[in-house]
A and B are shown apart, each in its own frame.
Chain A
C-alpha cells in the first residue's frame, strides 16, 4: 500500500459545555501520515493547539482497538467515518487525501447532550441497561460450559447481538435519534439464551420504557443504523425486539 503525507483542513465542532452554544472552528494540520489513525491525527491537532495556547479538542476514546465503544466522532456526515463496519479509532488516514476538508461533529441527539466539543453524555444507554439488560443469578462456582444445551443458531444470533459495543452510532445515524438498534441488540442477546428466559418479559418492557423516558425517537425502519454500525448489528434484531415487546405486552403479568 502506498504511503503518503497530507495536509488537511479540519472543521471541528467546538462547544465549551452543555449550556453554551457551539460552533465550527477550522484548523489546518500538516504532514499527516497516511498510516496514522484518525485519533492520532487528532492527537497531532491537540498538541498543535496546546503549543499555540489554545484549548485542545475534547473527544472520547479508550481502547483504540475498536472494541470498547468509547470513540464517537461523526465524520463527514457518517458516524465513525467513511469506512464500513469500523470505529473512529480504527479509521486510518489513508481514507483521506491531501487537501481534503474533514467535518467532525459530535453525536447529535437530545438524549446524548454534548459535554464538551466532541464528547457526549451517553449515560442514557447505561440507564437502559440498568432497567433490565442483565440476568439475575446467584454467584458461585462457574458452571460447566456444556451443562446447559443451547441451540447453535440461537447461540450464533445471540453472540452476533452481543457484539454491540454501545457506542451510540445507531442513534447518531438515525434521522429519528432512535436507540432501537442498541436496545434490540441487548434484548436479543439475552432473549435468545436460556439464561435470559426468567426475566424475558419484564426485561423488554422495562428497557423499552426506559428508552422512551430517555427521550430517544421512535424507529421507522430506515436502516441507517445497521449501515453505520461498527459491529454490523442486524436490523433483524429490531423486528425481534418488536416481536418480544408485542408478546410481552400481551402476556406479561403486569
Chain B
C-alpha cells in the first residue's frame, strides 16, 4: 500500500508539472497551448515514457486491489460493531480511505475516458496542430472543449478534493508503513504531506476553472 502509494505520489508531481504548461498562456496570449501540446507530444511519443506508463497502470491497479483487499479484510475483523463509534481519536479522512479511493476511482474512469482514451486510441475531438513541421494532437483544444461544461468542472473538483484528503492521510501513512520513525522526519513528512495534498489539488482544480473562466485558451 505504502510503496504503490509513494509511486503514485511521484507520478502526480510529473502529471501536475506537465499540465501546468497550459498556464504559459497567461504570460503569452499567442502561446495557445504550444508548450503544453509539445510536452504532451513528448510524453506520448517517447518509448521510455510509454514503458513507464505500463508501470504506472500496474501501480494504480495494484494500489486499488490492495486497498479494497485491506478494507474488506479489516472490516471482517469486527463481526459485531459498536453502538457508539469512536470518532474523536482519528481524523475522518484517515478512517475513510476506502471511500475516498472509490470516489477518486470513479473520477479517474471519467478522466481517462476524456483524455487518455482519446489521445491514445479514438482520437475523438482531437485536431492536429503543427509546430516546427511536426504534427501532433491539439490536447490543449481538447481540454478547452472538455472543460466547457460546469458539471464536468464540478466532478473534476470533487475528484481533486477527494484526492487531497486521500493524500493528506496517505502521504504520511506510507512513510510510517515503510518504517520511518525518527520524530524529526515524521513531523517534516507530515507537514510536506499536507502542503503537497493542498498544492496538488489546487493546481489541478485551477486547470478546468481557468479554461471555463476564460483566463486561458
Contact = CB atoms under 8 A, between A and B. Distances in A.
Interface of A: 11, 22, 24, 74, 76-79, 103, 105, 108-111, 173, 175-178, 215-228, 235-240, 242-247
Pick the most buried of B74, B78, B87, B97: most chain A CB atoms within 10 A of its CB: B78
Contacts of B97: 220
Contact of A220 (B70, B83, B175, B181): B70
Contacts of B73: 217-218
B27 interface: no
B85 to A, nearest CB: 6
B86 interface: yes
Contact of B86 (A22, A226, A228, A238): A228
Contacts, number: 111
Pick the most buried of B79, B88, B90: most chain A CB atoms within 10 A of its CB: B90
Contact of A227 (B78, B80, B81, B90): B90
B133 interface: no
Interface string B105-120: 0000000000000000
Given A175-B95, A242-B179, A246-B178, A224 B89 contact: yes
7 contacts: A78-B89, A110-B79, A175-B74, A176-B77, A177-B77, A228-B86, A242-B181
B102 interface: no
Nearest to A11: B83
Contacts of B177: 219, 221, 242
Contacts of B10: none
Interface in B116-160: none
B77 A110 contact: yes
Given A22-B80, A218-B73, A246-B179, 17 more contacts: A76-B84, A78-B88, A110-B76, A110-B79, A217-B73, A218-B74, A221-B177, A222-B90, A222-B169, A225-B89, A227-B89, A227-B90, A238-B176, A239-B186, A244-B179, A246-B178, A247-B179
Interface in B50-65: none
Interface of B: 70, 73-74, 76-91, 94-95, 97, 169, 172-173, 175-181, 183, 186
Contacts of A227: 88-90
Contacts of B76: 110
Contact of A111 (B77, B84, B87, B88): B77
A105 B181 contact: no
Given A110-B77, A222-B95, A173 B89 contact: yes
Nearest to B185: A239
A241 B144 CA distance: 50
Contacts of B183: 236
Contacts of A173: 86, 89
A240 B89 CA distance: 21
Contacts of A243: 179-181
B83 A24 contact: yes
Contacts of A221: 94, 169, 172-173, 176-177
A105 B84 contact: yes
Pick the most buried of B83, B86, B88, B97: most chain A CB atoms within 10 A of its CB: B86
B180 A217 contact: no
Contacts of B78: 108-110, 177, 217
A42 B169 CA distance: 39
B18 to A, nearest CB: 31
A239 B86 contact: no
A175 B87 CA distance: 10
Contacts of A215: 77
Nearest to B80: A108
Contacts of B176: 221, 235, 238-239, 242
Given A177-B74, A217-B74, A222 B83 contact: no
A50 B167 CA distance: 54
A111 to B, nearest CB: 7
B77 A220 contact: no
Contacts of A224: 86, 89-90, 95
Nearest to B85: A77
Nearest to A237: B181
Contacts of A225: 89
